[in-house]
Amino acid sequence: MKILTVVGARPQFIKAAAVSRVMKDHQDIHEVILHTGQHYDANMSEVFFREMEIPEPAYNLGIQASLQGEMTGRMIEGIEKIIISEKPDALLVYGDTNSTLAGALASNKLFVKIIHVEAGLRSYNMKMSEEINRILTDRISDLLCCPTANAVRNLESEGFADFNCTYLNTGDVMLDAALFYSQIAETKSTIVRDLNLDDFVLLTFHRAENTNDPRRLSDIVKALNAIHPTKRVVLPLHPRTKKTVEALGLKLNMDVIPPVGYFDMIELLKNCKLVVTDSGGLQKEAYFFQKPCVTLRDETEWTELVELGCNKLVGADPVLIQSSIFEMLKQKFNFDNELFGGGKASQNIISAIETYL
């Protein structure tokens, strides 16, 4: 069986690393990787392929565009051509980016089966481009691999039981990645020593709802600037955030570093005291590495973590951000619930592909 995997953005490289690694051991599956080019900086793309030994993409469309429609349209066009020439049995997409939707649409129009990994997640915020991408991709997918029981319930409440598709809880491939690369990261990453990190808060933010709204952006910056003198804040700065912070002339009074590779990120996660983020992936990784998380959003796809209490939604309210950080630093949380499948998601996905496609 030939599978065309479409990736384009940082979190997809990490997810693909976990799945491709297991796929390589399956003689009956031949994977061809297509990179749309959505993320192109070396520290947003190439570093992940190199460090995590993801097979070299057979195709790179090199598509970068600032307009969403242009980007998605050009991706559909490029992916369509490759589907026609490669004739895959199925196309595999991850998550919720424009690359995900473009891959799914191109595939659907050519009647090629679609596998969606990280299906069923919902924020129920229809203003989020990611929410639209995931809903549309789910609806036209043939095999929907859900990371959690909640994701399965979301699909059921939308009537997926009556649709012509298969959905199942496979577990979360990001846990597979975290578990597999954790030991390697320990031997390869020197970031904690290099930056002399001890007692610190790890911050990442890049969601359009925060970076494209000057009010929210400056409130977040204000809150974290105020934390830094008492508790060191380390921020690997996403290129989109960098652009808008500079355009608004905001000063980041914290330890700002360029985006880091996955091994460095794992070591930052292991050694920090708390995570502050608007990233979907980081919220879970905080849990994997047993760190509380303050989430700079008004809602989350990972509601189970909020219910457990170890993740708190604070939006962009500067007072709430600051008080929550100090409050959560004092509390103890239980990280023992096995919510994400125990590290066998990639194997489960491959078994599902072999069984249902």
Nearer to ligand UDP, 19 or 112 (CB): 19
Selected binder of ligand UDP within 141, 279, 300, 322 (CB under 6 A):
279
- 206 belongs to the catalytic site: yes
10 binds ligand UDP (CB under 6 A): yes
Count of residues that interact with ligand UDP, criterion CB under 6 A? 14
In the Cβ-directed half-sphere of 19, how many Cα atoms lie within 13 Å?
36
The tokens of 106 are what? 């191109």
Measured distance CA(158)–CA(161) in Å, rounded = 8
301 binds ligand UDP (CB under 6 A): no
Selected binder of ligand UDP within 280, 292, 318, 341 (CB under 6 A):
280
Selected binder of ligand UDP within 6, 7, 14, 294 (CB under 6 A):
14
Selected binder of ligand UDP within 34, 93, 121, 282 (CB under 6 A):
282
8 binds ligand UDP (CB under 6 A): no
Q: Which of residues 209-268 bind ligand UDP (CB under 6 A)?
A: 236, 259-260, 262, 265
Q: Which of residues 165-204 bind ligand UDP (CB under 6 A)?
A: 204
CB of 332 to ligand UDP, least distance (A): 24
Nearer to ligand UDP, 165 or 181 (CB): 181
Q: Which of 116, 206, 228, 238 is catalytic?
A: 206
CB of 21 to ligand UDP, least distance (A): 15
Burial of residue 197 (number of CB atoms within 10 Å: 0-12, 13-18, 19+) = middle
285 binds ligand UDP (CB under 6 A): yes
Q: In what order do the strands lie in the sheet with 293-295?
A: 255-257, 232-236, 200-204, 274-277, 293-295, 311-313
Selected binder of ligand UDP within 11, 37, 78, 315 (CB under 6 A):
11
Q: In what order do the strands lie in the sheet with 166-169?
A: 59-60, 30-35, 2-7, 90-94, 113-117, 143-146, 166-169
CA distances from 5 to 22, 86, 259, 270, 277 (A): 14, 12, 25, 30, 28
Q: How far is CA 86 from the centre of its chain?
A: 27
Nearer to ligand UDP, 90 or 221 (CB): 221
Q: Hey, how many other C-beta atoms are within 10 angstroms of the C-beta on 180?
A: 17
What amino acid positions are annotated as catalytic residues?
A: 206
Applying CB under 6 A, the residues found at the interface with ligand UDP are 10-11, 14, 204, 236, 259-260, 262, 265, 279-282, 285
